Structure 1
Amino acid sequence: MKLIFLASVSGHVGFYAGEGTVVFLCLACAVLVALSVWMRHRYSALRKRMQQELGCTRAGLARAEAELEELKLQLAETGKALREAEARLGRSRTESENTEDELDRVRRELESVKSRKYISGPSGIKVESPDDALMKKALELVERNMDNSEYDVDAFVSDMAIGRTVLYGKVKECTGMSIHEFILDIRLKRACQLVCGSSFTISEISFMTGFTNPKYFSVCFKRRFGLTPSGYREKYASDGIPE
């Protein structure tokens, strides 16, 4: 009897033990399935986010590359502009040096011909005036500073040692011109003599008569005599200066 009872109990226990194992395995499978689904979802979301971030990174890199190319172009243009500016500066320096050399040469030539008829004395330039002494001094001062481009109204008034207002009135009364016009007229008359009576170039004559810009000299000359210096020389060089 004892043996029969033990066998019966063992059978029931085995049955319950087998049923519990099945339940446990089912629960474990359910947990694993849920975990797998969650992991797949998580992986999908993570992958999507990484793809988005990678896309943004690629777009950022593309923009950065475009900006870099633009900067390279700007740098190239800046370098070109700098080289052009340096070239212009070099040309300006060369032209400035050439101009200074030309001025020095003309000044030396001017000094060498001081004793000639072109520059010495009143040179046939006449000033008809009731006040001969005053106007003779005025003419001599302009003659003495003929090649000095900085000899202006202030310097002239100072050398004349007369009040500006009084001197202006005297010059106006005697010549019908202002002091500035008087100085300019004497310079242009001397230039006219040199154009027809010398072999100096027009540029040299402009420097010799106190002009620093040959183009401005030509404008003033044409305004005074109706012809450019070259045209005047061509017309009157052989016949002499008209009265």
Structure 2
Amino acid sequence: MKMQNKIALVTGGSRGLGKNMALALAAKGIDILLTYNSQQAEAENVVSEIESLGRKAAALQLNVADSKTFDGFFQNVTGALQTKFGTDKFDFMINNAGIGLYAPFAEFSEETFDTLFNIHLKAPFFITQKALPLMNDGGGIVNVSTGLTRFSLPGYSGYATMKGAMETLTKYMAKELGARGIRSNIIAPGAIETDFGGGRVRDNAELNAFVASQTALGRVGLPDDIGGVVAFLCSDEAKWVNAQRIEVSGGQFI
């Protein structure tokens, strides 16, 4: 009897870091269920890339900012698991979807705060909670933080606050889900060249050069620097890694 392939659910998997995570997981032999908010064509392109690696993949729409849609989303997950993957469970929950919104603390609006809260804290909390009945024992959760919880730069107070909360939540997930053999870890990327936050690290030459000058390896991060770490955390090689914050920043501000 053929063993069922392991499956990872990656939120925000149509571009940027999420796309890189999905491809790195697929390269490790894991099938992928990825979500997109509005970029369906991009998401389907990622599905095609994953299938070209010999893995199964599917893309589902999800707006992580709207928690009222989560129950309906998981009905769609159940359907996709059955039709595309021939199973009713998945193994790894990757909470990657995010948005970059920045302002000085003195000028930070309540609306912006609420948006960051809904996307970066409320969504991973309740998406993971609602995923639990569909997750196999012995799987794993990977959350995403930021180097900005360890060092501080003006303008990131709201964003970093949500990520700091995610680091605490990750430990509680590890503690409470350990009885099911589900591990929970969080990665903390440094500054990465993507379109995140309007592409500021990628497109602002002054900011890019500043970050590179403050990074031990002498450059800004690229998506390819991140995905493999997530794939590692979803592998048997990482079976004893649990409740950890793993910074992936090239040695930024050390």
Instruction: Return the TM-score normalized by structure 2.
Output: 0.26
Query: Which structure has more strand as a fraction of its residues?
Result: 2
Instruction: Return the TM-score normalized by structure 1.
Output: 0.27
Query: Which structure has more helix as a fraction of its residues?
Result: 1
* Larger radius of gyration between Structure 1 and Structure 2: 1
